[in-house]
């Protein structure tokens, strides 16, 4: 099969970027690879790594430190009951107008995904009426790869992106079916199959602004849209990498993954203790930890290793997330495998969560640990 980097000149966000370095290829951040660090090789030997201790410490009435490695904490009542109701009503009333995001690939285990992909590729191929060599005519995916490689001007950019996603999803599924992948899935709760994913939407700008305004309340520094004109005396700012809303219906869940960012803030808009939903815990299998959804609760956790030797610095470029594309130096840090997590299956009702992904931008020296960036833990 031709190498897909041949597609690079065709699209603004090249297929190379989509396949190899997409910051939103969540399912692939945790797949086994021989060059991964020693913590992975232990899993390959079926020594299931789990964080050794839990650090369940109540800092205040609202803030609870659940774990230090990886760093996980909850902040209750970060949104008032009135605000939660207001946001839920907004989402429900405008749900039909919300824009789905395709930057996440959460249908890896979907039983119907391959069939839908093949039907679509076959339809496109038939419309083009091109003769495909026998070695590429074995299946719709291979045929479409040949079409895109040899007749790129005949194919829409959206279809090339669908091709890249299909290849990613199928390769990921193969790796999940290996011994290592099965071992990881065995750590997930309830022997889940992750066959049905929730609906993920781009967060509307009005909600995004409200949620971003919360960031300086518990993290040192400022976000890229909050206090932008003020000098950051902490030498630290936070770039919002992505912001989405996710609605999980019954039997829907999220596949195990490591987030491609430094920190993630989840804001729960549903309550497992009421009639909103049953199930839907956010689960950290390597830490033996589950966080149930609770209205107004924030869950903050970190998915990268600070001050790691493998970190590299790159120039921040335009991205499809609505960022300004300012020329800043940004560090790409190694993923922390211990932060692997998944969304537990919703057994009844509906779970709604807002997700904000953050990257830390330091001016000068970094901190000794992510703990040192938390404003809410400093008295």
Q: Are 114 and 195 in contact (CB under 8 A)?
A: no
CA distance 338 to 331: 20
Burial of 252 by CB count in 10 Å (0-12 exposed, 13-18 middle, 19+ buried)?
buried
pLDDT recorded at residue 376: 66
β-bridge partners, 353: 246, 268
Is 285 strand, coil or helix? helix
Of 21, 355, 88, 93, nearest to 198 by C-alpha is 355
CA distance 279 to 257: 19
pLDDT recorded at residue 10: 27
Q: Kindly give the confidence (pLDDT) of every residue in the chain, 379 residues in length, as a single tens digit, with 9 standing for 90 and above.
A: 322 322 222 232 323 232 333 333 443 333 433 333 333 333 333 333 344 445 555 556 689 999 999 999 999 999 999 999 999 999 989 888 999 887 777 778 887 889 999 999 999 999 998 999 999 999 999 999 999 999 999 999 889 988 988 998 888 888 888 887 787 777 775 556 788 889 999 999 989 999 998 888 888 876 555 444 334 446 888 999 999 999 999 999 998 889 999 999 999 999 987 878 999 999 998 888 999 999 999 999 999 998 765 444 444 444 333 344 444 445 678 889 899 999 999 999 999 999 999 999 888 777 888 998 987 665 4
CA distance 299 to 66: 10
pLDDT recorded at residue 54: 52
- Phi first, then psi: give them for residue 250, nearest 5 degrees: -65, 140
CA distance 42 to 199: 34
- Phi first, then psi: give them for residue 352, nearest 5 degrees: -120, 130
What tokens appear for 75 in the block? 């902040």
194: left (phi over 0), alpha (psi -120 to 50) or beta: left
Is 209 strand, coil or helix? helix
The model carries a pTM of 0.76
Of 163, 172, 167, nearest to 29 by C-alpha is 172
Bridge pairing between strands 222-223 and 236-248: parallel
CA distance 198 to 95: 14
Residue 43 burial (CB count, 10 A): 21
Domain architecture of the chain: domains with CATH:
53-101+196-221+234-307+334-378 (2.60.120.620), 112-193 (no CATH)
Q: Are 343 and 248 in contact (CB under 8 A)?
A: yes
Place of tokens 């790129």: 152
Burial of 306 by CB count in 10 Å (0-12 exposed, 13-18 middle, 19+ buried)?
buried
pLDDT recorded at residue 377: 60
Q: Are 236 and 221 in contact (CB under 8 A)?
A: yes
Of 322, 313, 317, nearest to 360 by C-alpha is 313
- Phi first, then psi: give them for residue 251, nearest 5 degrees: 70, 10
242: left (phi over 0), alpha (psi -120 to 50) or beta: beta
């Amino acid at each position: 099969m031709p190498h897909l980097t041949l597609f690079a000149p065709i699209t603004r966000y090249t297929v190379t970027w989509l396949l190899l370095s997409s910051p939103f290829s969540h399912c692939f951040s945790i797949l086994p690879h021989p060059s991964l660090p020693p913590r992975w090789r232990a899993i390959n030997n079926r020594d299931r790594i789990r964080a050794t201790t839990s650090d369940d410490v109540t800092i205040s009435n609202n803030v609870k430190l659940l774990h230090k490695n990886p760093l996980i904490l909850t902040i209750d009542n970060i949104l008032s009951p009135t605000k939660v109701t207001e946001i839920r009503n907004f989402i429900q009333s405008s749900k039909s107008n919300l824009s789905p995001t395709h930057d996440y690939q959460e249908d890896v285990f979907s039983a119907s995904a391959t069939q839908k992909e093949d039907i679509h590729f076959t339809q496109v191929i038939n419309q083009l009426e091109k003769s495909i060599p026998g070695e590429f005519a074995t299946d719709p995916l291979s045929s479409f790869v040949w079409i895109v490689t040899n007749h790129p001007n005949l194919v829409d950019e959206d279809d090339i992106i669908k091709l890249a996603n299909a290849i990613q999803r199928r390769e990921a599924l193969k790796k999940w079916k290996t011994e290592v992948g099965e071992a990881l899935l065995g750590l997930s709760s309830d022997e889940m199959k992750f066959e049905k994913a929730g609906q993920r939407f781009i967060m509307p700008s009005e909600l995004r602004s409200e949620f971003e305004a919360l960031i300086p309340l518990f993290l040192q520094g400022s976000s890229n849209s909050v206090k932008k004109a003020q000098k950051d005396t902490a030498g630290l700012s936070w770039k919002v990498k992505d912001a989405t809303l996710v609605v999980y219906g019954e039997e829907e869940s999220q596949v195990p993954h490591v987030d491609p960012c430094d920190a993630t803030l989840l804001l729960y808009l549903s309550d497992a203790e009421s009639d909103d939903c049953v199930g839907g815990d956010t689960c950290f299998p390597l830490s033996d930890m589950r966080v149930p959804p609770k209205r107004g609760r924030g869950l903050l956790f970190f998915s990268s290793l600070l001050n790691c030797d493998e970190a590299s610095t790159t120039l921040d470029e335009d991205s499809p997330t609505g960022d300004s594309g300012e020329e800043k130096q940004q560090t790409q840090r190694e993923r922390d495998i211990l932060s692997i997590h998944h969304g537990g299956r919703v057994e009844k009702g509906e779970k709604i969560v807002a997700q904000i992904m953050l990257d830390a931008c330091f001016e000068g020296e970094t901190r000794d640990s992510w703990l040192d960036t938390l404003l809410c833990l400093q008295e």
